[in-house]
Structure 1
Amino acid sequence: MLRLVSRHSRACLMLGLAAGLLLPALAGAMAPWLPFMVAGLLCITALRIGHRAARGAVRDLTWGLGAVVVLQMAVPLACVTVLSFAGLADTPAALALVLATAAPAISGSTNLALLLGLDAGRMMQIMVLGTAAFPLTVLPVLIAMPQIGAFPQVAASAALMLAVIMTATAVGFFLREKLFPEPTPAQISTLDGASVLAFSVIVIGLMAPLNAAIHTTPEQVLLWTLLAFAISYGLQLATLLVLRRTRLHPVAGPLAIGAGNRNIALFLVALPPETLGPILIFIGCWQLPMYLTPVLLPDLYQKALSND
């Protein structure tokens, strides 16, 4: 069954998105479990990658670490600076923008790379490095945001993120070593299917706030959706345009996916509900451009990365 899911990953992503929108009772029932589901998805991702591939990603620091620092720290800090000068830093939209740009690439980014015909290995490196560095890169961003709170609260949030990431990753690596030390192509397909399935299921719970808001404040949903598409697709387009003529051209595609498809759900395991409350609708809307990236943007990637 999981190999079948792997072969039809695009359809599974669309089914998960549709279920989140069309089954509000199911989405509401899953919402309280989202922090645990986020940790589970990290564990499944580590199981799919394995510690050997992760070590390879960490060793390749010549371009990966610099890219992570730019995408996860420099970009959100630049956003904070601009928003502060504009007097908008304490608005919900500002919080949504900064958290979305501070998060690492989503765990399903390797699946998106495969669907777009890009180098999934390079995508895996970006995702592994970004997730590992996240507790450190996010610290200055959280300190700079007025909505987050005092430094002790920021430090506690970063420590909790680090604990969740390390625990989930360690469990995944342990299971990989015990169950699939040298996976066959069929087993890799099975693990890919498990990753796609988890990625498709978690979106159902993430859509719960969006379901409620559609019936009460549809105009807010529309505005949050437009912001989500503008951030996600704007970052992907900008990354492709900046890197397509540089020496980083071979990794421009994976970096663009990592730039515009961020795991904002990681903040659900660390930041208090009262901090995230104003942007819960955005978190639901944020799933739309990400899950639709392999459907709406293949031509963009093909044209931007061609040698013409």
Structure 2
Amino acid sequence: MACAPTGYRTGGERGQPPAAPPEDVPISRLPVRLLEWSARQGGLLLAIGIFAGLALPPLAAALRDVVTPVVALLMTLVLLRVDPAQVVGYLRRPLMVAALLAWLLLACPLLAYAAAWATGLAQGASAPLGAALVIMATGCAATSSPAFARLVGLDGEISLVAALLSTLLVPFTAPPLALGLLGLDLSLSIGSLMGRLALVVGLPLLASLVIRRLAGEARLRRWGPAVDGAVVLSVVLYGFGVMDGVLAKLLADPGFVLGGVLLAFAGSFALNLLTALAFLPAGQGLALSAGLLSGNRNMALYLAVLPATTEPRILLFFALCQFPLFLSPFLLKPVYGRLLRRG
């Protein structure tokens, strides 16, 4: 009979219960394992989550009011997974960062406006969709962009720098562009929007600095996969809240909703491709990261600050923009992997 390894009880010794075999996962580790699994299955979970939010209206309605806190949590988790040294390194390249921000916030809206006029979306019955497409292109990079970049193997640090700075700048760039190009008054109060940004960006930044100080860099690296999984689950939770009311509108006007989804995908992928081509001279990795930033815009801020008198179809389009946002990591990860291997 084989003896039990030294230090491992077979059970019954001094009335103690049998110890778990070494290969068993302790109960206390199960949440961590679940988060790590979520990180590995991130693209698939995001794809499932957006359709589950659409198919379960009561749950989407119940989670509508948690969107802002979840976005703040998401930003905190994203900040914990970014290397501060690399972020500082990018800030030491101000010309490249300035060029990326100028492209995201100024050039992309002009390109979207030209495309809307060329395709007839800026006129007639399609005018609300054309206007929504242009406003979408004025938006800042999505808060989740650094997490999505990590999911598909791209640069999370430049994604974080661009997402943070574009979020801070969008109150000063979006209203003039919307007024000048479309004649729309977005009623974007700089004071109220900056107050919201203080919640969504400032508080998570402070929280992440405190956590980083208390936990230490070594522990944060060890927790990395679990934090990535928490990011994925936070984005899925956000997606449920944003989908509130979309199913009812799909049933009431399926043609407009399906056309809006197609336009959202076309706008997202076109911005992604054009941005990647524009920044290809700076290197393939940076160009692909910039493209992902450009294609995934933060519509949550607009949904939060636009007045109730805003054209309903514009607000609906912003909700439909979540489909390419959630599905792009799942759809594009094989493409990015192939391009990076070739590079």
Instruction: Tell me the TM-score range normalised by the shorter chain.
Output: 0.7 to 0.9
Secondary structure of 2:153's partner?
coil
For the 8 Å contact 2:268–2:324, the answer to whether it is kept is yes
Shift of 1:233: 1.1
Residues 131 and 248 (structure 1 numbering): CA distance in 2 closer, same or farther, change over 3 Å? farther
Q: Does 1:203 pair with 2:235?
A: no
Shift of 1:97: 0.8
Partner of residue 240, structure 1: 276
Secondary structure of 1:180's partner?
helix
Partner of residue 160, structure 1: 192
For the 8 Å contact 1:113–1:119, the answer to whether it is kept is yes
Partner of residue 222, structure 2: 186
Shift of 1:263: 0.9
Structure 2, unaligned stretches of length 5 or more?
1-30
Q: Which moved more, 1:227-236 or 1:288-297?
A: 288-297
Q: Does 1:282 pair with 2:312?
A: no
Q: Which moved more, 1:114-123 or 1:53-62?
A: 53-62
For the 8 Å contact 2:141–2:294, the answer to whether it is kept is yes
Partner of residue 147, structure 1: 184
Q: Structure 1: which 4+ aligned runs deviate by more than 6 Å?
A: 50-53, 84-87
Partner of residue 88, structure 1: 122
Shift of 1:168: 3.0
Partner of residue 77, structure 1: 110
Partner of residue 23, structure 1: 56
Q: Does 1:111 pair with 2:147?
A: yes
- Highest CA radius of gyration, 1 or 2? 2
Q: Deviations over 1:138-173 (max 9, x none)?
A: 242233232325xxx34x1x3322221123322212
Give the structure, 1 or 2, with the largest relative contact order (CA under 8 Å, sep 6 or more). Answer: 1
Structure 2: distance between partners of 1:305 and 1:53: 20
For 2:58, the aligned partner's letter is: A
For 2:41, the aligned partner's letter is: H
Shift of 1:213: 1.6
Structure 1: distance between partners of 2:313 and 2:98: 32
Identity %: 27
TM-score, scaled to structure 2: 0.76
Secondary structure of 2:309's partner?
helix
Partner of residue 271, structure 1: 306
Residues 250 and 33 (structure 1 numbering): CA distance in 2 closer, same or farther, change over 3 Å? closer
For 1:66, the aligned partner's letter is: A
